[in-house]
Amino acid sequence: MPPRRRSPPAVLALRVVLVGLAELKRAYKRKSLAAHPDRGGSEETFKELNEAYQVLSDPQKRELFRRQQMRVVQVELSLEELYSGATKTYAFSDPRTGERREVRVRIEPGMEPGTRLPVPGTNMVFQLAERRHARFERHGDNLHMPLSLSLYEALTGFQRPIKHLDGRRLWVSAEREATRPGVVRRLRGAGMPRFQAAGKGDLLVHFDVRFPSSPLRGSAAATLKTLLKGSAGTASPVPPAGERTHALELLATREEERQGGGGDDFF
> Quick one: 157 and 190 in the same domain?
yes
Res 241: pLDDT? 82
Res 209: pLDDT? 93
Res 204: pLDDT? 93
Res 267: pLDDT? 36
Is 264 inside any structural domain? no
- Low-confidence residues in the chain, pLDDT < 50: 1-4, 16, 233-234, 248-267
Rg, Å, the chain Cα set:
33
> Do the beta carbons of residue 138 and residue 159 sit within 8 Å?
no
Res 25: pLDDT? 78
pTM, whole model, 2 decimals?
0.64
Instruction: Give every CB contact of residue 147 below 8 A, 6+ residues apart in sequence.
Output: 160, 162, 172, 205, 206, 207, 208
Residue 17, domain CATH: 1.10.287
Instruction: Give every CB contact of residue 241 below 8 A, 6+ residues apart in sequence.
Output: none
- Supply the range of the domain harboring residue 84: 71-130
CA pair distance 45, 53, nearest whole angstrom:
12
> Quick one: 162 and 200 in the same domain?
yes
Helices and strands per DSSP (H, E), number in the chain: 8, 11
Res 60: pLDDT? 74
E strand residue ranges, 164-257: 169-174, 184-187, 203-210
Res 140: pLDDT? 94
Res 255: pLDDT? 47
Number of structural domains the chain divides into? 3
Res 164: pLDDT? 95
Res 240: pLDDT? 79
pLDDT digits (tens, 9 = 90+) for 158-171: 888 989 999 998 89
Res 262: pLDDT? 38
> Quick one: 144 and 202 in the same domain?
yes
> Quick one: 141 and 197 in the same domain?
yes
Res 260: pLDDT? 47
> Quick one: 144 and 203 in the same domain?
yes
Last residue in a domain, options 95, 114, 130 = 130
